[in-house]
Amino acid sequence: MRNKPLRRAAWAAMWSFGAVSLAGIGEAALHHADAQIANGAASMAMQNSTGDDGPPPTPPPVLTNAQILQEDRDAVNLMNEVALTPRILPGGVKQFTLTVSKFGWNFYRNVNLWAWGYNGQVPGPLIRVRVGDRVEIVVHNDLPEPTTIHWHGLAVPNDMDGVPGFPEPAIQPGGTFVYRFTATSQMVGTHWYHSHYDDDYQVDAGLNGVIIVDPRTPPPSMRHVRDVLFVLGAGKQDGSDNENTFLINGKAYPDTPQLTVKRGTTVYMRIVNACAETFHAMTIDGYDVKIVAQDGQPQPDPQTVSVVSIAPSETVDVEFTADETGTFPFYDTVASSLINPNDSVDPVGGMMTLIHVTP
């Protein structure tokens, strides 16, 4: 356990440019639903790009409150590792279907942006399989340009790897491709999938998701653990060449999904950096964590750290015991990731959420 008062004081000092406090942050989180009601169309795009980087920006559609609430449920379900349900084919093959399309997404408060995603979600739905499963993933491309899916960290056959032209061509607009592979013991762990066509643009537009491969029989140590998932994402607004919109599970604070656990719970947290460009350094104010796996590989000598460094495309699994009650921010220590561009209410936001530990 770290010195919580000192850590909180340091965290508050980081925001000396504004009157921000832990109490204020908690208050903003409690009024999450109220903030969502002010939903208007924003004249920007998740990838508001110029030149050949992507399509020209157009105003996204106004989203209904029901659509925004569904987005919030998607973010919470992803945190709780609710996975896409497969269709079971003859012979036991697990078939998943992903449709790639463009749609409006409410990233925070009243800011709607264009996104490119899988099954109308940012990030895409969680895919979860076990060792020995034969997997079939049907991908329909409804985008205006080609795309692929690369299974990052999985040793799939070369023609299933999603690298355009090596050897399979990209999936053309209106086209369909079926990825097939068998889950092996090499694949066990936390991994992610993403476009490998025009990667820098398409990944930050929302074309990324998580795939977890479980061992055939879960180890006993995982049976009494709260297993959660946080996907770090990013995008570009207002013609920026650099990522300037930062998300957790497709939402920016204060609209990020918040975790509530009972005191004494062991939390197994999977952190995925799905940003195309940006390094992050994540911390839980008040807690140290033990790094138990990186890129799906168990660590033979787990290290206890206060800050988890995670580069683009990396996954890190950490574990801690929630042994003190209270509300603890989980956030990026890189201050530029904690700002919401074009937020008329409060610029503090971005890659942060709250962990509530109850008695």
Question: Which of 197, 219, 241 is at the close of a domain?
Answer: 219
Give the SS3 label for residue 198: coil
State the residue for tokens 């980087």: 53
Please state, in angstroms and rounded to a whole number, the distance separating the CA atoms of residues 90 and 136. Answer: 12
Please state, in angstroms and rounded to a whole number, the distance separating the CA atoms of residues 29 and 258. Answer: 9
Please state, in angstroms and rounded to a whole number, the distance separating the CA atoms of residues 77 and 228. Answer: 10
Q: Do 240 and 199 share a structural domain?
A: no
What pLDDT shows up at residue 61? 75
Q: Do 234 and 205 share a structural domain?
A: no
Question: Which of 200, 219, 238 is at the close of a domain?
Answer: 219
Q: Do 182 and 76 share a structural domain?
A: yes
Q: Do 273 and 152 share a structural domain?
A: no
What pLDDT shows up at residue 224? 66
Give the global pTM: 0.85
Give the SS3 label for residue 9: helix
Q: Residue 70: inside a domain, yes or no?
A: yes
What is the total count of domains within the chain? Answer: 2
**Cβ–Cβ contacts within 10 Å for residue 263, how many?**
13
Instruction: Tell me whether residue 168 is exposed, middle or buried, using C-beta atoms within 10 angstroms of its C-beta: 0 to 12, 13 to 18, 19 or more.
Output: middle
Instruction: Return phi, psi of residue 12, to 5°.
Output: -65, -35
Q: Do 206 and 76 share a structural domain?
A: yes
What pLDDT shows up at residue 38? 36
Q: Do 251 and 141 share a structural domain?
A: no
Q: Residue 50: inside a domain, yes or no?
A: no
What pLDDT shows up at residue 223? 62
State whether the Cα torsion 323-325-330-335 is positive or negative. Answer: negative
What pLDDT shows up at residue 40? 34
Q: Residue 58: inside a domain, yes or no?
A: no
State the residue for tokens 């999904």: 257
What pLDDT shows up at residue 46? 55
State the residue for tokens 């800050």: 307
Tell me how long the chain is: 359
Q: Do 209 and 228 share a structural domain?
A: no
pLDDT per residue rounded down to tens, the chain (359 residues): 444 433 443 344 344 333 333 333 343 333 343 433 333 333 334 544 333 455 556 777 789 999 999 999 999 999 999 999 999 999 999 999 999 999 999 998 878 889 999 999 999 999 999 999 999 999 999 999 999 999 999 999 999 999 998 898 999 999 999 999 999 999 999 999 999 999 889 999 999 999 999 999 877 766 668 999 999 999 988 888 899 999 999 999 999 999 999 999 999 999 999 999 999 999 999 999 999 999 999 999 999 999 999 999 999 999 999 999 999 999 999 999 999 988 878 778 999 999 999 99
Q: Residue 44: inside a domain, yes or no?
A: no
Domain containing 74 equals 65-219
